[in-house]
Chains A and B, each alone.
Chain A
């Protein structure tokens, strides 16, 4: 199946600093990438959807100035958590999709990134 790589897997940062998480599609060109946040024992919460070269579309309640998303190419999207605070500590997961011609899309996930803000 298609491979999506996410880096770093774990990151600890000090409160007030910014952290960047990278998401790469390794063996396909991703038409769209998604960023999710997942709290312990809870389901995925979609944060934003991004297409290459376009501004990301954020879900209601997600601060776009807080969570900066850059989709620079068809294989790379980045999420930057700016001025991180302890409440931003969470599991962040990216995913990517590509057009399967006539048979619809499916979505492939990265391994996730654990962010701890101290």
Chain B
């Protein structure tokens, strides 16, 4: 079993829709969770960084962590064509060990 599992998509939504991106993880000891956005031919860009269960909001983005079910989510409200990218979830374990999901490709249609 991989440490972090993520549906690769692609996910296609109309502009203005609410997008839900999800990952599951295997180790209950994972404490820190991150979401990255990667545009084509670019390095990943950090979007959200969370610790512990609950929600964290930043503009149109909300990161949610449910440690009881080992489930992490990223919600995007009022999605825009510029949100079209690949979204990677990640977790940090044991100081410098990071595990990444395979990425979900999102396409927001105008």
Q: Which residues of A pack against B, CB within 8 Å? A: 1, 4, 6, 31-32, 34, 42-44, 49, 91, 93, 95, 97, 99, 103-112, 114
> Are B101 and A32 touching (Cβ within 8 A)?
no
Pair B92/A104 contact, Cβ less than 8 Å? yes
- State the majority secondary structure of interface residues on B: strand
Partner of A106, one of B42, B92, B102: B92
Choose among A49, A93, A104, A107 the residue that contacts B90 (Cβ–Cβ < 8 A): A107
- B interface residues, Cβ below 8 angstroms from A: 31-32, 34, 36, 41-46, 49, 51, 88, 90, 92, 95-96, 98, 100-103
A106–B49 contact, CB under 8 A? yes
Give chain A residues whose Cβ lies under 8 Å from the Cβ of B96: 31-32, 49, 97, 105
Task: Known contacts A43-B103, A104-B51; decide if A114 and B92 are in contact (CB<8 Å).
Answer: no
Measured between alpha carbons, how far is A97 from B90 in the docked complex, in Å?
A: 14
B100 proximity list for chain A (CB < 8 A): 43-44
Q: How far is the CA of A103 from the CA of B92 in the complex (A)?
A: 11
Given the known inter-chain contacts A104-B51, A105-B95, please indicate yes or no for A93 contacting B32, CB distance below 8 A. no
Q: Offer 19 A-B interface pairs, CB within 8 angstroms, sorted by A.
A: A32-B96, A43-B88, A43-B100, A43-B102, A44-B44, A44-B100, A49-B96, A97-B98, A103-B51, A104-B32, A104-B51, A105-B95, A106-B34, A106-B46, A106-B49, A106-B92, A107-B90, A107-B98, A112-B42
